[in-house]
Amino acid sequence: MAPSVLITGASRGIGAACARLFAQAGWDVAVNYNSSESAALALVRELEGLGGRAVPIRADVADPAQAAALVGRAEEEFGRLDCLVCSAGVALPQQLLTDTTDEQWRYVLGVDLDGVFYTVRAAVPGMVRRKRGSIVTVSSMWGVTGGSCEAAYSAAKAGVIGLTKALAKELGPSNIRVNCVAPGVIGTDMNAHLSRANLDALADETPLCRIGTPEEAARCVLFLAGEDAAFLTGQVLQPNGGLVI
């Protein structure tokens, strides 16, 4: 029986890259999406073409009921859940904290941090019963360092790192590993608002002199999910080209 993974926010960016790599490695993949249905369905067809099972599941992870139903559906489809990858994320345009509204703050924290909590909370009981499982969260370098004019995003992603470390200690005795990937500047839709000049400047600041690709971040996720990382838990892997050391 192939191992199974649920990837939140899998219709684009790092999540979609994760789905492709997991499928190529022989995993069955549950592709979670919220609004990007056409992209998710196209991705599922692509994954099925690789010979494995893939199912699209629509859910807003910021809603606790939908997050719980999402995990339940994935478990029903595959019989169990071997890995959960929490990659769903949103961001605001760069702005001052004082210009951030209550609604904007709750939107970012709701998806980026609450969504991790809700999906993990739903997935843990099944993993504990089997005494086996892996959880990989996706944070950001701004969760490590904080980013000017990125207060809501930085706070949410820092919370993801704290949650990851706490869960690694809590779930370790049940043989469940919990790790985090905190990418640097990656060429995804989330950074599409940046100008070419800004992207070039960020590349110049990076010791490897370029921005990263979604696939490079996804390889870190796949590594942490698998048996090659069997003695790793509570760790934050940072594919950032040396921008943050």
Kindly state the DSSP code that residue 82 receives in the 8-state scheme.
Answer: S
Catalytic residue, chosen from 33, 107, 118, 153, is 153
The torsion region of residue 176 among left (phi > 0), alpha (psi -120 to 50) and beta comes to beta
Alpha-carbon span 133 to 224, nearest angstrom: 11
Total residues belonging to the chain: 245
Contacts of 201 (CB under 8 A, 6+ apart): none
Q: Is 153 a catalytic residue?
A: yes
Contacts of 240 (CB under 8 A, 6+ apart): 141, 182, 183, 184, 185, 206, 212
Rg (CA), the chain: 17
| Cα 148 → chain centroid | 22
Kindly state the DSSP code that residue 186 receives in the 8-state scheme.
Answer: B
| Catalytic residue ranges | 153
